[in-house]
Structures are given as structure tokens and as C-alpha cells.
Structure 1
Amino acid sequence: MTTIEQTMTIPAVVSRAGGSVDGPDSLIDATIPTPPTPTGHDLLVEVKAVSVNPVDVKVRASGNRGGTDRVLGWDAAGTVIAVGEEVTLFRPGDDVYYAGAIERPGSYASRQLVDERIVGPKPTSLSYAEAAALPLTGITAWEALFDKLGLTEDSTGTLLVLGAAGGVGSILIQLAKALTGVRVIATASRPESREWVRSLGADVIVDHSADDLDRQILAAAPGGVDYVFTSQSKGRIPLFTKVVRPFGEIVAIDDERDLDYFALKSKAISWHWEFMFTRPRYGYDLEAQHRALTRIAELVDVGRIRTTRTRTLTPIDASTLREAHRIVETGHAVGKIVVADRE
């Protein structure tokens, strides 16, 4: 265990009341007790940059029933300043990136404790801001493609990506093209989002706002698509029954509860849920996330994939994080919004 000089408090941004982003206590500047000296597999990280994800917005908007200040944030890049006695993967001074665990205090603080087994070495070719865009979405995309859909470098066929210009879609397209043989059909409606997914390697782009979306997809994949990744499942089951081939597979990350899965039975279409917080929540095969982040960093550093950061806001404070939350809350952000103390 590494010991460090402890200060009594550290700066942070906390959600005191949650609710609307414009509420006075939704996100506020505060000082909080400094995290304790790490034990076990924990690292103490000095946070240099964070990114804002839909989960940040959802947790804030849901309110704070406990009434205690909550530190949000589930994406960070920074430097290890102390390690627990069981740590083997990192040392003080190492630059890292990670998403963390939703039950623990998040990354909107200058220091954070995180389990080394869900942390990766920061890509050396990226700044902290560029790296902070990748962990949560990278792990989500990795688990969706390789743990859920079971794709390999020998996989072929067609993958339909709904919401392709968003954070997960932006890295998922790149991973699919770099590590598998599948053809990617990406959905995007606005000119800027269409150009973005094209630049990431999408083979075909279709407009998910169009009335003839099913015909667009089937024109590109006449026998039906083999795989679907969706962050836009609401109202899409009829579409899936039309455009997915028999014995096809769908993996979803959104929170739609009232879906007619029975409609998929006729074609024996499989439905998978992906939730990247499952491993830390249940302590299941934690080091798989370390391995995924390590591999993603390697792919970045050899130029096979790139950061999905499209905008950096500064500095890390409540006002800036409110702005980032507003952008993400629109549902129209392209790529990832990062908040850092410097570009």
C-alpha cells in the first residue's frame, strides 16, 4: 500500500438535489472529504479530464432521494497517485483511463478511488481529454460486439448500428471495422452526423428518421442484417422483424421496458442486453474490462482507431458540467463531450 500526504478536503462537483439541470442544486461546486488511502485493489487517481454520458444525465435527472451530495461521472483520465496493497497492474505515476462503478463516487472530483481491474493504461498518443472520451463507450461497444454478439476477426455478414453517431456507436463502428470482417450499416440523419459516421468507417449510411428506413436497410442487405446494435429500441421491434434475418441477433443498451420480444420469435431472433456496469456491480470477471481498455489503447496508439471526442469544455466546474449535461440531454450530440482543465 502506498501512503500519501492527505488533505482534509478536495474540490468536486456534486449533485445535491438532482432533477432539472437548471435546478439550483442539480450540479454545484463543493468541497468533499478526500478519499482515504487506497486499500486492496484500489487506485487513487488524480483526475485530469472527464466526459459526460447519458448515464450522468439520467442519474442526475432522477433526483437525489438520499439527500446527500453525490459525485457523478463515469469516464475519466488521470494519473495514479497511490495504490492499495493488492494492486499489481499499476504504479504511482501511471497515466490511466476508466469508467468506474456506478455505486461508487464518480469522477467529478479531483481525486477518485477505482478498482485497478476495471482500469486501463491511457493511450500514450492521446491527451487526457482525448482519452477521457473512450472508457465507458469503449467497454460498452467491446462487450456488445465480442461478449454478446460473439464476433471474431473471422466474422462476416452485416451489422446494423442504430444511433451510430452517438458515443457508443462512434467507437463500436471503429472496433467492428478494425477487429472483424463485418460490413457496417450506420443510421444517421443530419449532414454532420452522416459525415461523422462515414469518417469512422461505416460502409453504408441510412436515415433513421425516414419513413422508408426498412427499405433503405434491405436495399443494402437484401437477405436481412445479421446483427443489430441499438441505443434506439423504442418503437423499433416492427422494424427489427422486417430487417433482421432469421436467427439474427440484436444487442441493446437503452432502457425501454415495454418491448414486444415475442414478435421476434417467428424468426428466432436473439435479444441481448449490454450494461457495462454489470461487471463492477457483481464483481464478475472484473479484469475483462482492464483487458478491453488495454486493447483499445493499443489500437489507438497504432492508429487503427481514434478518439471519439468532438468537443472539449473547460474548466472542470459546475457551470461547465451543466453545459455538457445540456448538450448530452438533447440526444443530438455527435461523438463525445469532454470536460477538462485544459484542452
Structure 2
Amino acid sequence: MSNLMHAITARDNTLVDIEVPVPEPGEHDLLVRVRAVSVNPVDVKVRASGASRILGYDAAGVVERVGAAVTLFRPGDEVWYAGSIDRPGTNAELHLVDERIVARKPASLDFAAAAALPLTALTAWESLFDRLRLTAGSTGRLLVLGAAGGVGSILVQMARQLTGLEIVGTASRPESRQYVLDRGAHEVVAHDALPDGVDYVFSPHSAGMVATFARILRPYGAVVAIDEPEGLDLVALKSKSIAWHWELMFTRALYDPESTAQHEILDRVAGLVDKGVLHTTLTRRIDGINAATLREAHALQESGSAIGKTVLVGF
């Protein structure tokens, strides 16, 4: 193995091809040969901030080497994961990741189809089952904003297949509306025509929406939000005792690094995929992982019109 590898770094709000040393695994690390990556809003956000770092979180690949304390995997295993925001990203030929946030790749998916899912599946799972504490017996009405997006399109599937909720998604264009219905939503409405009488809201875009949530949610309802709008004022929710939950998929890796919860979630999701209960959200595949193809994928993400996930395959 060469001691240098190809990677793509963010620099001055653009993406640049570089060569960097191959990293050495720590005790619980896997050195993964990356076969496919996908692009998420966090990639665009960090790049636009002017940060200089290797981006990328979602990955599917093959374990090349393992750290001294690794027990869950061995070289040759096919894996998928969403990484951690405090370590170099997956836009590199070889990537270090803690085994405790990694799981086996679904056997029924190729690397591209698998790479579309980890970050969004973890976000959706934690939103539904950790933050909102829903169960297979939960009923009521769930409103999913941005239901054709990466998180929304897997969250709709999970809610439909794993709970008793009625699911209403938002989408604007005919093709995105049909995509959301095909994922399992009972109803699709326009972004500016939100229904009254909902019990739960999933919100990727919360700015200016608190008063609307206060109006459409039933008493004792709940919102789970994944964005971070400035100056958020939640007082309007108080009279109905509406709960507000934050979901950040990176919290476990940042503050609870010994937890194997995300390994277990991804392993369970892989099983559901292999059983045909859940499906990949890959909608666009780009061959080649390099600065030019990543710029194309970032532009698609920034357009605001992407359906599902864009995946890049092969260095």
C-alpha cells in the first residue's frame, strides 16, 4: 500500500484534489477503502463556511485494516456508516472511522445504493424512536416537511413501516409529490398548505415556522427539528404544551463515543433493507469521486430541487 492517498479537501469555499498520507488506525478504528459516498446538506454548509478540511460523512466500503482493540469487524468486511463531524471526512480513498458507529453493509445493496442511506437513516431513526419515542403501536398524524429530501424520504418509509402513524408529507413539484407517495406517505400537501390537527412534526426548515406549528399541532404534540435557525422563539408552543426536540446525528460520536447504539441502529436498518421493508433513497449516481464530481453534487444539493440522494462511486 502506498503511503499517500487521493482525497478532496474544502478550501476557500471550493473543492480541491490533494494527496495526503494514509492514516494509521487508532485502537477502535477501522481503515476503510471507500467505494462510494453521498452528499448531505452538512457537506455544503461546512464547505460554504470557508473551512479547510476533507468533507464527507456517508460512506460504503471495505475494511482494509483494524485497530488493536477492534472486535466488531475484520479486514474484508463490507461496511457502511455516517462518520463523525470532528474527524476528517470520507472524501478520501482510505478513511478512519470508529468501529462503534459502523455496521455491515446491506447484502442486497451495491456500494452506491448503500452509501445513500447511513446519515439520513440514523437521523430519521433517532428522530422517530429516540427523540419522539414512537413505537410500533404509536398512532396519530405525523407531518414530514421536505418529505422528498434525503432524511424525509427514509423517515417516511420508517414511519409507515414501523409505526401506526398516518403520514402527511410536503412536496411541491409533481415528481417530488409522487416520490413521497411511493415512499409510503398517506397524503402529500404543498409546503404552504399544511394541515391542522397533527400530532408530530419533523422539521428540516424551522425558521419562521413556530407560529404555524403552534396552530397546526394538537395539544401535547411534538416537533423534532434538525436545523438551527437563529433567534428561535418557542413561546408560542407553550399554551398547548407542545414539546420541541433537537436531533443531531453526530451527538453520539461527539459526546458518547463508547456507545454502540449507532452500530446497532445501522445493523437493524441493514436487516430491514435486506428484507425489503426499507429501500435505498439513491436517485442520482455520479461515477468518480474527485473535486469536479463533488462540485457537481454540491451544486445539486444547493439547488434545493434534489429528490432523494446523490451518490458518487469510485476513486
- Fold similarity call, TM over 0.5: yes
Give 1:203's match in structure 2, choosing from 168, 186, 198: 186
- What is the CA–CA distance in structure 2 between the aligned matches of 1:247 and 1:285, rounded to whole Å? 34
Equivalent residue for 1:148?
131
| Counterpart secondary structure, 2:252 | helix
Q: What displacement does 1:285 show? A: 5.6
Aligned residue identity for 2:59? A
**What is the aligned partner in structure 2 of residue 29 from structure 1?**
17
Aligned to 1:315: 288
Shift of 1:16: 2.4
Matched, 1:49 2:22: no
| Aligned partner (choices 38, 42, 46) of residue 59 of structure 1 | 46
Query: Which of 88, 94, 104 matches 1:111?
Result: 94
The two structures, once aligned, show a CA RMSD in angstroms of 1.1
Q: Which runs of 5 or more structure 2 residues have no equivalent in the other structure?
A: none
- How far, CA to CA, are the matches of 2:267 and 2:306 in structure 1? 27
- Number of equivalences: 315
| Residue in structure 2 matched with residue 71 of structure 1 by the alignment | 54
Distance 1:244 1:330 in 2: 30
Offset from partner CA, 1:57-115 (integer Å, 9 cap, x none): 00000002xxxx51100100000011112111111100000010111010000000000
SS for the counterpart of 1:15 is strand
Superposition deviation, residue 39 in structure 1: 2.7
Cα displacement (A) at 1:259: 2.0
1:120 Cα deviation after fit: 1.2
- Superposed displacement of residue 284, structure 1: 5.0
Aligned equivalent of 1:293, options 263, 266, 270 = 266
Q: Tell me the equivalent position of 1:242.
A: 215
- CA distance in structure 2 between the aligned counterparts of 1:149 and 1:194, rounded to whole angstroms: 25
- The structure that is strand-richer by fraction is 2
Unaligned runs of 5+ in 1: 1-5, 20-25, 219-223
Alignment of 1:1-343 (within 5 A): 6-17=1-12, 19=13, 26-36=14-24, 38-64=25-51, 69-208=52-191, 210=192, 213-214=193-194, 217-218=195-196, 224-284=197-257, 286-341=259-314
Tell me the SS of whatever aligns to 1:248: strand
TM-score by length of 1: 0.90
SS at match of 1:264: helix
SS in 2 for 1:27: strand
Letter in 2 for 1:45: V
Q: Structure 1 residues 119, 9: closer, same or farther in 2, change over 3 A?
A: same
Structure 1 segments, 4+ long, off by >4 Å, are none
